Structure 1
Amino acid sequence: MFWSDCWRRLKVAFAHVPLRRKASVYPVFLYRDTGQGDIEQGIRLANGHFVFDGRSYRLPARTTWAEPWPADVKRWVYSFVWLRDLQALGSNEARLTARTLIASWIAHTPHDPIAQEAPVLGQRLASWLGHYEFCLLTAKDVLQKQVMEVIRRDGRVLAALLPLPPHGWRGLLALRGLLAAFMAVPDQEGFFLRYQRYFPHELERLIGADGVVADRSPEAQFQAVQELSSMIAMFNALQLPVPPLMSTTLARICPVLRAFCHGDGCLAVFNGATERTEDDLARVLERAERYKVIASSVSMGGFIRLTLGQSLLFVDAAPPPSLGHDRDAHAGTLSFEFSHHCHRLLVNCGASLGGAWKQAMRESAAHNVLVADDLSSSDFGRDGHVSRRPSQVECQHRSNDEAHWLDLSHNGYYPSLGATWSRQLYLGQNGEDLRGCDIIEGERDVRFIVRFHVHPDVRVVQEECDIILHAGEEIWRFCQAGGMLSVGDDVYLGRGHPEPSRQIVIASRGGRDVQTDDKPHKRQQKVSWMLERVPA
């Protein structure tokens, strides 16, 4: 490991050595980035500022990019992915803003390691080339030549960084950037050879046999589809045959992306995902797939997807993803989401791009789970990766034509509390009867709360013993036994910004002694609950 890191650093250092070869003035091949831009963000950028994760920031001064931004903001700014927003605006002012910022970057490139991270570097190169026609094609030859010199140099840096350690779906950004560099300067055949060599390896570790991205996130699934379909567009622009592996992989991952959608056509909210919009999903899938197919398997990469009638039940039945794929992972093991027709009823709280909200949304309390002693079932290190996760997660599924049964458990609370949590779920009555039983077993009673986060579009009314949910014209009733029932304030970030919502809470009571095979006595605490549709 030490020597491979040294060799990689040496290759990167050589890649920065200027070449004597005269740089081209224009790219040989161009392609058009098809990512969806935000016109409102484009207006802000043209006016000298931007919004990231709900906070407003000033654009860098023309003489420096060394701004004291948080790391997640830097990755976004340094990647130039926001060129999509300026192109969506499409005005001459937007064009000149993009051109000015690219020229400023070339003149004052920050000496920041984040700027040289392979996914950031790759996305920057792909963004420059993908928006070249919009903002650079009519620029002066001097600037275009400078851009080409940077593309050639940074392409060499990207090639030197391969093979990459695991970056999750973001590893595809680095490879797309290398392909963009080859499009601009196809005489650098080494760029394409490195791409061809490492692309299959990246797909092999990223995409499971069932078509689920290793990040175990609907958002990562969306991004992987978008990246691969963009690469196909680049091969078409190069007038080269699309690698069969690329096409067959897209055919495997698109049905899974469809399967990650609720009845409203938007994404389930797990492991860093937000809902996105139905138009987002339709646009990406229309470009990427030949046939509209939904993955038929009940189990998808550790997720369980159950359908009955017009109801959908998603369950996260696995630990967080492995190191390298866990940058956006949440402590949501055994959490679930439930929807009926186009109405989301019970949801996880969503995700944030950075800051305190991001950390809060990763904790177990932001999911439909049992939270023991205010702890999370997984912990996160200062580097953002998962530092502790459940070592045992079990799931058994049974079904017939009329119902589904799930038996789930994990030991994520055992190291700190000596307790294990098991959850039983039942879905029946044509999808209009969802029941659960949550059990904690340990050496002593544990204080816990079972949380049920209600989607903000649903109105919640607490009655004497029950809680009534109004979803459109539908009425649902929630009741429980074994705990103390209440309704509290909540927040939902599943649509990209904080929204006030409500949550149903069941607080624990004292347990009872139970006889077990391995030890003479254990304490068991149990709560049961039911969500049923009230007939009209």
Structure 2
Amino acid sequence: MSGVRGTFGRIKDGVTQIAYGNPLYALMLGGRAPTTLAVVPPDPWPGDATDGSALLAGVLRFAGQTIAIDPTAEPRWRPQGATRRWIDDFHRFDWMRDLRAVGGDMARRRARVLVWSWLDHNGGWNAQSWAPPVLGARIANWIGLHDFYCASADDDFRARVFDSLARQVRHLARVAPGPLDGEELIAALKGLIYGGFCLPDHEKAGYEALKLLERELPRQILPDGGHVERNPSIQLRVLRDLIDIRAVLRVAKVEVPESLQHAIDRMTPALRFFRHGDGGLALFNGGREEETALVDTVLAQADARGRPLKSAPHTGFERLIAGRTLVLLDTGAPPPAGLDELAHAGTLSMEVSVGKERLIVNCGSHPSRTGPWRRALAGTAAHSTVVIADTNSAEVLEEGGLGRRPSHVSCERQEADGAMLVVATHNGYSRGFGFIHRRRVYLADNGEDLRGEDMLEPVIGASPTGQPFAIRFHLHPGVQASLIQGGAQVLLRTAGGAGWRMRATGALLELEESIYMGSGDEPRRSTQIVMNGHTGPEGLTVKWALRRERKAA
């Protein structure tokens, strides 16, 4: 199947090259160029001054890869050894906010030099640098950051920027939506809306994009406010894009569609749903912690009230909170094919934090999103859940996305006197092994008693054979773990000094090495609790309990 996809992709790329990569098409994109913006939208998003200073020194850090260039020489826009994601990020121009965060004439001049260089080397269509999601982001960034790098520039610079913007908008209007879906489609439509309503005489493109957005929002934003890709980081980025789109419409005096406002109002509590006590996001389906300042800014700019949800049944997550303890559970089916490029095989995985300290985590994802890191971190073993015979509960495909996957995931929630119980099942192991995984998680009203049961139940009519299994609980790097009571229990100590004790029956407790990639470009060493054993034909039940250690009086 992958060979067929590859052949089809090469044919499609060849046709696209013929259609857009010829001089005649470049002439077709010509036309009257604007000389100024009709409106200038706000850009409230924080940059990183450290990354901006590095960029000034010629150190470019994108997508988990660092490439050094001579800051005095002409930059290479596709340097040797750069990953596709690195090149995409370079051409998106999000990094201009980092230069803005540095401030001063040097940073502004550097931004202009890089924009001028881009125009010299990428002014015509290119399959990668003019790909619709990249194109949409660049248009929005060039317009949104206009006052930083362009407003006080000379006439020649401004003329080239506005001529290119008009060309990019015309091309994007011709190719969108095309095969785009999910977050990438929102990014492309955002670029069209920026270009349509901020460039004079381009309103038609803006209104067409707005029509497409109104059609798309009910499909992508689920009734509980979660995004269909089930990734907390994508939840953040899409909400931010919708906030930007609303801001453009407001400054352009265009009525904000009710569907857009309602999407923002629903997505905001859903984003809060995924926040741990440290302000960062949970690590599900390729998500990362994200910068706390950015999450704060998105929530503030959303200007939408609403406490975090307890349950997100349409997106497929549960949130249990009592005392200072927060438990987040993935209780939903993986996103559908075509929207699962970053999805992980982490069904029924769990994260736990206490106050501002993370305790139990998933391993996270690499910024590159591809290659060996993608395959390893998307696997079930990189999540705090059950693995049978070292096999993923969903097939992680080499080119991204998932193949075989659970076809049925169910969840029930009960609450009484402040205590909470969630019971969830998935059938990702039914076809290969004949077992259903059922997980019960109970949190007491004081938040100091977390109990669970992991059951592997034979599928009706199946005759499963014994298989090795492991229940993994990955620990945050700030947590120290030690086996006590002759290996029958594990004592956990957080960086803040709090102690927790884990017990289990029905499996052998062990400690193994793990890694954490919730933030940053490099993996951090950590530890995982592993409960090992073998199933029998009748299945098995492993009970575990995690309780707060009370300090001696």
**What's the TM-score once normalised by structure 2's chain length?**
0.88
> Is 1:304 equivalent to 2:314 in the alignment?
no
Query: Aligned equivalents of 1:222 and 1:19: distance in 2?
Result: 34
One-letter code aligned to 1:446:
Q
Note the 1:57-206 alignment, pairs <5 A: 57-59=67-69, 62=74, 64-68=76-80, 69-109=82-122, 112-206=126-220
The corresponding residue for 1:39 is 49
- What's the offset of the Cα at 1:364? 0.9
Q: How far did residue 151 of structure 1 move?
A: 1.0
Structure 1 residue 59, shift from structure 2 partner: 4.7
Query: What aligned pairs does 1:305-384 form with structure 2 within 5 A after superposition?
Result: 305-354=319-368, 355-384=371-400
SS of the residue aligned with 2:268?
helix
Q: Which residue in 1 is equivalent to 2:513?
A: 489
The aligned amino acid for 2:481 is V
Helix, strand or coil at the partner of 1:508: strand
Say how many residue pairs are matched: 522
3-state SS of paired residue (2:169): helix
2:504 to 461, 480, 484: 480
Q: Which amino acid aligns with 1:99?
A: R
- Larger deviation, residues 177-186 vs 104-113: 104-113
Instruction: Give the match for residue 394 of structure 1.
Output: 410
Task: Kindly provide the CA deviation profile for residues 273-315 of structure 1, in whole angstroms up to 9, marking residues without a partner as x.
Answer: 2222433222111111243532354635111112233322211
Aligned to 2:548: 533
CA distance in 1: counterparts of 2:141 and 2:241, whole angstroms: 12
Partner of residue 248, structure 1: 262
2:361 and 2:30 map into 1 onto residues whose CA distance is 58
Pairwise CA RMSD of aligned residues? 2.5
C-alpha displacement of 1:166:
4.5
Q: Which amino acid aligns with 1:468?
A: L
Which letter does structure 1 place at the counterpart of 2:518?
G
Opposite residue 66 of structure 1, the aligned amino acid is R
Structure 1: tracts of 5 or more residues without a match: 513-521
Distance across 1 between alignment mates of 2:245 and 2:55: 27
> Corresponding residue for 1:517?
none
Give the CA deviation at 1:132.
1.7
Structure 1 counterpart SS, 2:133: helix
1:413 to 429, 442, 448: 429
Cα deviation for residue 414 of structure 1 reads: 3.1
Give the residue type in structure 2 aligned to 1:310: R
- Opposite residue 459 of structure 1, the aligned amino acid is Q
Partner SS state of residue 404, structure 1: strand
2:273 is aligned with 1:259: yes
Give the corresponding residue for 1:457.
478
> In the alignment, what sits opposite 2:3?
none
Read off the aligned partner of 2:105 and give its amino acid letter: N
Structure 2: runs of 5+ lacking an equivalent: 1-7, 459-463
Offset from partner CA, 1:48-93 (integer Å, 9 cap, x none): 2212344311359637523342111122111111111111111322
Q: Contact 2:150–2:158 (CA<8 Å) still a contact in 1? A: yes
Residue type of the alignment partner of 1:411: N
Calculate percent identity across the aligned residue pairs.
33
Q: Secondary structure at the match of 1:406?
A: strand
* 2:64–2:367 Cα contact (<8 Å) kept: no
Corresponding letter in the other structure for 2:177: P
Q: Is the 8 A contact 1:437 1:526 kept in 2?
A: yes
1:470 corresponding residue in structure 2: 493
Query: Which moves more between the two structures, 120-129 or 193-202?
Result: 193-202
